[in-house]
Chains A and B, each alone.
Chain A
């Protein structure tokens, strides 16, 4: 039973530590400093002009 408790509380300690570490890491790497660039970052050059990039087969809008 003690092993179960050790595993449970150990994993929770790991969870809390990694969460705090992730937040500090993100702040340190300036992940939150330039939201404009971050928001654009998933769009490739050919996906950025506001055109639709997905449609029903054979029904491309004009």
Chain B
């Protein structure tokens, strides 16, 4: 348990020389944050804005797919909007559009802050973002026009897959460059997670595509490769970024360190050790060697170790600070994401047990679980990142507290309704299918109210997304909001003459810190 340590320059009983030293350190910190945020402004905002556009596109496609689940005749005469194309278009736009673009922006900003160096190659990164958007857009159009593959989560044509590997590798290189130039002694746990994501995912993505599109994996090996990939997209790409954000932002917002640093490291290294093995539980009951599935089930249960470590750490860090959820939008989204991580991980581990899986498999239960992970955990965490980062990049407050609240409640209630409806409906569906007493079409009809609840939930989510997009647009385009205040600690007061010009600080000649802190430098 970290002990409190006096560090505020405002402490009345500190000797004058200590106060002066701390004030100088604070000035250093403010200057460093300003320089780093200024270097991130162009590329990170580009990635975040792209992410929001993809979020709207993905929401539209998802709502349409959900509606067609209970009203299949709707727009059924036009091939591009049939369910078989709309659904993979929704999934790919959310994963490679929204989730990846938001994640890339979060990674770049956090890597710069944690290394305490400005972000290099800003224009090149924007170029990478433009190329990424074009590739994903062409891939989505290929899906809608019938050029999709039959491999779930990899429906975009193979040339798209190979093209996307290049930006991922570039991101890894940039992370290494910043790390080598870092001005801090410690590699904070968030940075371990970020390095995990930027190295694991290119490897995962490239390997899978080479095996599947290169026809090295055929038959059941293709299925196992496919589900190894699909499971690890969440665990080795999205999860590390989401957890990095939670570990970074909770302490930043509440002004206290995490409860146990050792537990956080245990969580990272056990995730690295166990998650990679867990994907085969998607094929329980399939024609795989029994030991392959059993190893995967064991690894899934072992995942309870990192999950418990993260859950304990987050909960104990927040104890005594839950009241702050009332005031901080970032904290609301981040804590919602953290709680959902525990929930989805425990649910996932239980789902890997044969006794549970034989009921939940091939039902809507699995869809509810996937959305709990990608949306309730990861997406809510990324909302928290964006609400924290964007004001610091543009030097203004968000324009409307009401829009943020609409976004939070729309997203929060929407995903809860979505998950509860599909989990309950899917479980009952599985019980009936296994029972063999109810005709299949009657089971389909039975699930209809749950599918309608899913569409209602999608409407809640879409309302939240539209409020979020309006907030972002007003923030960036209309220059609303005060340039002073709580989220802009580095900004001087109005009386002092508005925003301060960032000091000159080149990436390759950053001046050494003069910090008197025992931490050896802050990020």
Contact = CB atoms under 8 A, between A and B. Distances in A.
B254 A50 contact: yes
B258 interface: yes
B214 A1 contact: yes
Interface in B483-514: 485-487, 489
A34 B284 CA distance: 44
Contact of A54 (B5, B487, B517, B522): B487
**Chain A: interface size category:** 35 or more
A40 B519 contact: yes
A7 B216 CA distance: 12
B199 interface: yes
B185 interface: yes
Contact of B188 (A11, A18, A38, A61): A38
Contacts of A36: 2-3, 261
A11 B272 CA distance: 17
B390 to A, nearest CB: 12
B255 A50 contact: yes
B255 A58 contact: no
Interface in B430-455: none
B388 interface: yes
Contact of A53 (B7, B188, B255): B255
A58 B401 contact: yes
Given A44-B33, A54-B331, A60-B485, A8 B8 contact: no
B328 A46 contact: no
B252 A43 contact: yes
Given A4-B210, A52-B254, A47 B489 contact: yes
A41 B522 contact: yes
Contacts of A51: 255
Given A31-B187, A53-B255, A42 B522 contact: yes
A28 to B, nearest CB: 12
B292 interface: no
Nearest to A57: B397
Contacts of B327: 52, 55-56, 59, 61
Given A36-B3, A37-B186, A42 B248 contact: yes
A60 B65 CA distance: 42
B222 interface: no
A12 B184 CA distance: 30
A46 B489 contact: yes
A42 B190 CA distance: 10
A36 B398 CA distance: 34
Contacts of A54: 252-253, 328-331, 387-388, 486-487
Contacts of B8: 45-46, 48-49
A42 B399 contact: no
Given A19-B272, A36-B2, A11 B206 contact: yes
Contacts of B199: 15, 18
**Chain B: interface size category:** 35 or more
A6 B261 CA distance: 39
Contacts of B211: 4, 8
A35 B10 CA distance: 26
Nearest to A8: B207
Contacts of A55: 327-329, 486-487
Contacts of A24: none
B373 to A, nearest CB: 24
B171 interface: no
Interface string B79-108: 000000000000000000000000000000
A37 B519 contact: yes
Contacts of B206: 7, 11
Interface string B180-200: 000011111110000100011
Contact of B186 (A12, A23, A38, A45): A38
A53 B22 contact: no
Nearest to A22: B195
B261 A42 contact: no
A7 to B, nearest CB: 6
Given A40-B2, A45-B517, A47-B255, A56 B329 contact: yes
A26 B29 contact: no
Nearest to A44: B29
Given A26-B187, A42-B188, A55-B487, A48 B255 contact: yes
Nearest to A48: B7
Contact of B401 (A23, A31, A57): A57
12 contacts: A8-B211, A11-B206, A19-B272, A37-B518, A39-B258, A40-B519, A41-B186, A45-B29, A49-B8, A49-B255, A54-B388, A58-B401
Q: Please give me the 9 A-B residue pairs with the lowest Cβ-Cβ distance, nearest first.
A: A35-B261, A44-B29, A39-B257, A57-B397, A56-B401, A41-B519, A48-B7, A39-B261, A38-B186
Interface of A: 1, 4-5, 7-8, 11-12, 15, 18-19, 22-23, 26, 31-32, 35-61
Given A36-B261, A41-B184, A57-B397, 14 more contacts: A1-B214, A12-B207, A35-B261, A37-B519, A38-B189, A40-B518, A42-B248, A43-B257, A44-B522, A45-B26, A46-B30, A48-B5, A49-B10, A55-B328
